[in-house]
Structure formats: C-alpha cells, structure tokens
Amino acid sequence: MSTLTLDAVSRWYGNVVAVNDVTFEVGPGITGLLGPNGAGKTTLLHMMAGFLAPSTGRLELDGAPTWRRPELYRQLGFVPEREAVYGFLTGRQFVTATARLHGLTDPRAAADRALEMVSMTDAAERAIAGYSKGMRQRIKVAAALVHDPPVLILDEPFNGMDPRQRLHMMDLLRAMAAEGRLILFSSHILEEVERLSDRVLVIVAGRLAASGDFRRIRRLMTDRPHTFTVRATNERALAQALLAEPAVQAVELADGLLTVRTADYGTLTRAIGPAARRAGASLLELRPADESLESVFSYLVRR
C-alpha cells in the first residue's frame, strides 16, 4: 500500500509562487486534484512525480523523496499533460521501448497487455504522429501502465477524449484502484472528478482550498452564497420587496442594476417572481453573476 505525503510543500519560479504551503497525504484509491487552469496542478503533480524539486517542504512517496531518484519510477507511472509523444514511433514501438527502459523481462508481452488495457491494440501499428488527441492520451496511459506500477499519476488524462473513451478510461482507473493502487489525477472539470474520485483535493491559486470527501465539497459548493444581477422596471420598489424576503441577504442598486445576494439559491428563484408582482415591477433579466468555476473555487478559498 503506497502513501504519498506532502508536508508544507511550496514551489516558486523566481518571484511567482506556483504552489503555496500544501500539506496532505493520499493513500490507495482514486484521488482527484481539482482546480482551475493555472492553479498549480501541473506543478504539484510534477513535484510528486519527481520532475520538480519543492522549493521548501517535504514530499515523499512511502517515506522516500521523489526528487532526483530515478528508482522511483519502478513504482510510479506518470501521464504528462503535454501532448507531444515520439511521433516517429508506432504506438507499439513506443510502449515496448518503455517496457525495455523499465527493464521488464518480457517487454513485448507487457506492451501487448498495456495496449489491450487502453484499447489501442488495433491502432498499435500506426505511427503516433497520425494519432488523434484521444489516441495519444491513451498511448501515454499505456506507456505509464506498462510496468504495472502501484502508483499512477495522471495530469488531465481526459483531455481530448470523446465521451466513450472517457467512460472507458474511468472504468480502467476504477478497476486499477480496486486492486489497491494509488491513483491521483488532475482535472479542471468538476463532473470528471465527481464521477471518478472518492477523495478530492481542490487547489486554487497554489493553495489547497479544500480536501476530503467529494460529497462534502460538493455541498460546500452548492450552499455557497449566490449573487444575481437583476434588470427590472421599477427597480427601487423591487429592491425593497426583495429585502423583505428572508432568503435575501443583501440588495444593492447601482445604475439601475440590482445585485442580489442570497444564501439559498432555490428559495430566491421561487420568491423573486411574486416579489416583482407585489412591487409592480417587470423582470427584464435575471442573471447569475458568479457561476464560473473560478468563482466557486475562490469561494472555497475565502471560506
């Protein structure tokens, strides 16, 4: 059973802090690393996979540091986000060469098995240069799996995959996790993480914003305060009517535009129609102001 430990890990590039004081521990099973683009997910994963040195802090796999230790890769498979793979090799040559670099006794058999696992057997004889994004993604996964590692780290593994390939890959990762492997993958898409992982680490602006059971984090995300902007006729009367609603926390009126804050999203959407009627106002537009993933994430950070 493998354990990946991060203790107060930070990493900066010059003056830019990419990862800021991150502490957590992951064990077997699937863990999702969720965060918007540029949050530091790749930096974090590259540190875990031994390609970057932490600027400060301790980062260990089963008690041994990952940085500058090629032996690490006997127990770790890594799927990088970058698309570039040796285009001049066929899929089979790439995976077989990888098996040889791992010093496996039967590299051909190991490559066959890995290609089969990602359903790339049919395309294995074609040059990687001609592969689609999804196929490249899968051949990278096959190469990372070829030595049957107990730890698998994947950076945005579902990028470029069609829905069918995505489901297949999710099944594959689930099956591998069921065998007791530690699987850690990153994504900026909430649904992917929701469907696949038992545990979630949310990283925003280099900091660990939340971690733990996905359902708990999901609840935090839905229960957070929502902000709407409302355009209406007779907006002053509407503002007064809304302030009387228990679901409304605050109303702001500026340049004829109402900004309404609520902790209870469902009640407000039901209450706003009747409130408008009471105030003699017509609703022209009702728009959620902060539904982007980034704002969800930044709420988690502020919390």
Partner 1 sequence: MIRALLSITLRGLLNRRRTLLLMLGGALLLLIAALFRLSDPSEPESLRFTGRLLADFGLAVLLPLVAVIVGTAVIGSELDDGTIIYVLARPVPRALVVAVRFAVAWVVVAVLVAVPILLGGLIGAGGQSELAVAYAVASVLGALEYTAVFVALSLVTSRALVAGLAYVVVWEGVVAGLFAGTRIFSIRQHALAVGDALAGEGAVTAELEPLTALIVAVAVTVLALVLALRRLERVELRGETS
What residues line the site for partner 1 (CB under 8 A)?
13, 38, 42-43, 46, 49, 51-53, 68, 70-74, 76-78, 80-82, 84-89, 94, 96-98, 100-103, 143-144, 155
Name which of 121 and 159 has its Cβ closer to partner 1: 159
The DSSP symbol for 233 reads: S
CA distance 297 to 224: 11
Show the CA angle centred on residue 20, arms to residues 15 and 220, nearest 5°: 135
Minimal distance, residue 86 CB to partner 1, in Å: 6
Confirm if 262 and 288 have CB atoms less than 8 A apart.
Answer: no
Could you report how far apart the first and last alpha carbons of the chain are, in Å?
34
Longest pairwise C-alpha distance within the chain: 80
Minimal distance, residue 293 CB to partner 1, in Å: 19
Name which of 159 and 269 has its Cβ closer to partner 1: 159
Minimal distance, residue 286 CB to partner 1, in Å: 38
Minimal distance, residue 142 CB to partner 1, in Å: 12
Name which of 42 and 262 has its Cβ closer to partner 1: 42
Name which of 140 and 199 has its Cβ closer to partner 1: 140
Q: Give the C-alpha distances (Å, rounded to integers) separating 62 from 27, 72, 241.
A: 10, 10, 60
Minimal distance, residue 170 CB to partner 1, in Å: 23
Token pair of 23, please? 């502490």
The DSSP symbol for 90 reads: B
Name which of 72 and 272 has its Cβ closer to partner 1: 72
